Copies of this chain bind each other. A is one copy, B any other.
Amino acid sequence: MSEVRRDIVTDTWVIVDTENDTIPQVPQEEVKAHGCPFCEGQEDRTPNEIYAIRDGSSPNKPGWKVRVIPNIRPILKVEGELEKVGIGVYDMVSGVGANEVIVETPHHMTNFSELPDEQIQLVLDTYQKRIEDLHKDKRLRYILLFKNHGRAAGASTIDHSHSDLIALPATPVRVKQKLSGALEYYSYKERCIFCDIIQQEIEMADRLIFQSDKFAVIAPYASRFPFEMLIIPKRHCYAYKLVDKSEIKDLANSLKTLLRTIHKVLKDPPYNLVLNDSPNLLPRSNYWKTIQQDYHWHIEIIPRLYRTSGFELGTGFYINHYAPEKAASILRSSI
């Protein structure tokens, strides 16, 4: 079991793997394991599935379209009581949570943007299904869905297209910052900060990469990284589970358009994709009052073209060597 520890000074939580005894090495390219365990027909090489989209075929057999399995080396485990323990001045929560893998296609494809639109829709549907299911477990405070593409973006050696899900027993500090920033703005203006950003970006247009019927795709004003991108629904909506069928369809198309464009412009860059959703349980009760009004779910995509240094680690202050207006302009003309 791991421990979830809180840095009391910065309110940063860390999952500490207390069982591992192997000293980590400086990352190097690893030799790929023989054959891909995520391909259709290899179901017996993975743990039993949690969820799958199937047309009547049996669980853990071929005949699926999207398949969700537990991570084979889970960092958090579903079993066990959620214990909160004080260790002198420190706080600790037991390593209760979930760590799942969403296998996005039965075929061996390594690039999410090459999946057919309908397949991407099924993946986005699956995100909703897993969030809905895990939200029932009130030990879990936040469900994080993300994708790591490429080794430099922290992806595993399995290159078969997949997303990761981690359900956490504590609210992450960046989520708290966003909730708190959104609440502060709402308290002052009685408007959603994200809705105001969307309106301004569509009007100014210099950081707008494109807009579809239901989404705006933006290079954020204070992008931390070159070619950072934001996909945000035009309709005010605080939680991903409330997204409707027509929005999923539009999102699948917008996501594919964007990822194909960066694949072309940046030559298949490593990237991270993160779904920024509302928490399951809120860290402080005052957030509850207005979260439906003040929060607005969104997706961040960050190409990993830059190595963070001591500057970023020490400060949370970033240096971005490529202006978002220029990134937006290049992407806009390459769609």
Asked whether, in the complex, the Cβ of A27 is within 8 Å of the Cβ of B306, the reply is yes
Taken together as a complex, chains A and B put the C-alpha atoms of A221 and B166 apart, in Å, by 22
Contact residue among B9, B16, B23 (Cβ-Cβ distance under 8 Å from A181): B9
Contact residue among B90, B222, B273 (Cβ-Cβ distance under 8 Å from A14): B222
Copies in the complex: 2
Asked whether, in the complex, the Cβ of B6 is within 8 Å of the Cβ of A316, the reply is no
Answer yes or no: A164 CB below 8 A from chain B CBs.
Answer: yes
Q: List 7 A-B contacts (CB under 8 A).
A: A7-B222, A9-B185, A22-B322, A89-B197, A170-B317, A274-B310, A275-B314
Asked whether, in the complex, the Cβ of B316 is within 8 Å of the Cβ of A300, the reply is no
Most buried by B among A5, A196, A227, A267: A5
Chain B contacts for A166, CB-based, 8 A:
311
Answer yes or no: A11 CB below 8 A from chain B CBs.
Answer: yes
Identity of the chain B residue whose Cβ is nearest the Cβ of A146 in the assembled complex: B310
Interface size on A, residues (CB 8 A): 98
Chain B contacts for A24, CB-based, 8 A:
226-227, 305-306, 321-322
Asked whether, in the complex, the Cβ of B148 is within 8 Å of the Cβ of A316, the reply is no
Contact residue among B220, B265, B304, B311 (Cβ-Cβ distance under 8 Å from A164): B311
Asked whether, in the complex, the Cβ of B153 is within 8 Å of the Cβ of A310, the reply is yes
CB distance from A226 to the nearest CB of B (A): 5
Interface pick from A61-69, A172-180, A281-289? A172-180
Identity of the chain B residue whose Cβ is nearest the Cβ of A326 in the assembled complex: B21
Taken together as a complex, chains A and B put the C-alpha atoms of A168 and B312 apart, in Å, by 13
Q: Given contacts A8-B222, A23-B322, A300-B313, could you give 20 more A-B pairs where the C-beta distance is less than 8 Å?
A: A5-B222, A7-B220, A8-B181, A8-B193, A10-B177, A12-B317, A15-B319, A16-B222, A17-B319, A17-B320, A17-B321, A18-B323, A24-B306, A75-B319, A89-B197, A172-B314, A173-B315, A174-B315, A174-B317, A272-B314
Chain B contacts for A319, CB-based, 8 A:
14-15, 17, 75
Asked whether, in the complex, the Cβ of B223 is within 8 Å of the Cβ of A14, the reply is yes
Answer yes or no: A144 CB below 8 A from chain B CBs.
Answer: yes
Taken together as a complex, chains A and B put the C-alpha atoms of A24 and B227 apart, in Å, by 9
Answer yes or no: A204 CB below 8 A from chain B CBs.
Answer: yes
Contact residue among B142, B144, B177, B220 (Cβ-Cβ distance under 8 Å from A11): B177
A263-284 Cβ-contact flags toward B at 8 Å (1 or 0): 0011101101111100000000
Asked whether, in the complex, the Cβ of A222 is within 8 Å of the Cβ of B90, the reply is yes
Asked, given contacts A12-B222, A27-B152, A223-B14, whether A193 binds B316 with beta carbons under 8 Å apart, the answer is: no
Answer yes or no: A53 CB below 8 A from chain B CBs.
Answer: no
Contact residue among B75, B185, B324 (Cβ-Cβ distance under 8 Å from A16): B324
Taken together as a complex, chains A and B put the C-alpha atoms of A174 and B313 apart, in Å, by 9
Asked whether, in the complex, the Cβ of A17 is within 8 Å of the Cβ of B323, the reply is yes
Asked, given contacts A18-B323, A320-B14, whether A314 binds B174 with beta carbons under 8 Å apart, the answer is: yes
